[in-house]
Amino acid sequence: MKQTGSWVAGLAVSTVLLAGTALIVWSNRGRLWPESIPLAPAFTYEVDRRDTRSACVVRAGFAERGEFDTALTSIRALAAGPDGLVAAAGEGMLVVLDTNGTPVKAWAVPSDTRCLLYVKSGIWAGVGDHLVQWAIDGRMLQQTPALASNAVVTSIAGSGDHLFVADAGTKLVYVCDSTGRVERAFGQRNPTNGVEGFLIPSPYFDLAMAPDGLLRVVDPGRHRIEAYTAAGDLEVAWGRPALEVEGFCGCCNPAHLAVLPDGRFVTSEKGLRRVKVYDAKGVFGGVILGTDILGEGAEPAAVAVDAAGRVLVALPDGGKVRTYEPIERR
């Protein structure tokens, strides 16, 4: 991935702004202070860990239905297809499987493939600074020019004849036609009009199309999910930074986002890895997987949702995917 001065400056600013938060989150774990020097109660905080499967998975309305191995060393990107198949990418490979884990096809892809969109015409991938589309048999169908000199493509969503592409390098969302040609972009900071611009402290910048026709874009530095029209007009936003499980903690979360057919949202966080569910208005609905299973780490669990409303979670430490089905409530 390309490194630029803006990334370095952005990370430096984030480090200064979040130093206090890091002390709050980690001091009680003995990482900043020797264990022999106890902290005063005023400086001791505990992140809410109400996220075990036994406590929250039923509340989230999902039940585990199985696990399959993709044969990848690790999974960076995951996408469910309209044909009931699943695509996963990581470590320079892209594999297509059915939901039982039976492999259909696999081929080599660039190691900087960060995101996937699986549509009827093939599989779109964000590869470094540009887009590539492959047929399901592994043939390359098209490749776009670089979106920008410092582009880092982190997410792709589709609606009708358009693609929406999140670029963590320029901190913009590009609106492209069905071939990946850029038509326009939005998210530019404009103090005159009160537009803050997206705050992207790390290369996680996700988006997804919702059933209501609005594009959901994660503003991870503000711990917020925002709804935009296709023209780039902000309609509504929800989310807040918090140590409680209902909010998002860390420097920049959620890292990944998927939308269920009924309009609910599935989010995935890094740091304290958690996969959670929120309703269409952003009200917390529970945890599908928490740190008791996912552990802690800088790489979040990739998530996807299929047409049947099943949630697919790629376990971050390996190449396995777990499937969760919605529970019918009476």
Mean pLDDT confidence for 89-118: 95
Global pTM? 0.84
Is residue 38 within a helix (H) or strand (E), and if so which, with residue range?
A: none
pLDDT of res. 50: 58
Confidence of residue 24 (pLDDT cuts 50, 70, 90): very low
For residue 250, count CB atoms less than 10 angstroms from its CB and return exposed for 0-12, middle for 13-18, buried for 19 or more: buried
| H helix or E strand, kind and range, residue 291 | helix 291-294
Q: Please give the domain boundaries of the chain with CATH numbers for all domains.
A: 1-46 (no CATH), 47-326 (2.120.10.30)
Q: Which of 175-179, 190-194, 226-230, 241-245 has the lowest mean pLDDT?
A: 190-194
Picking from 231, 249, 233, 232, the residue whose alpha carbon sits closest to that of residue 241 is 249
Residue 249: the pLDDT is 92
Is there a contact between 197 and 185 (Cβ–Cβ < 8 Å)? no
What is the per-residue pLDDT across 152-163, written as a single tens digit (0 to 9) for each? 999 999 998 999
pLDDT above 70: residue 121: yes
- Tens of pLDDT along 219-272? 999 999 999 999 999 999 999 999 889 999 999 999 999 999 999 999 999 999
Residue among 158, 128, 131 at smallest CA distance from 144: 131
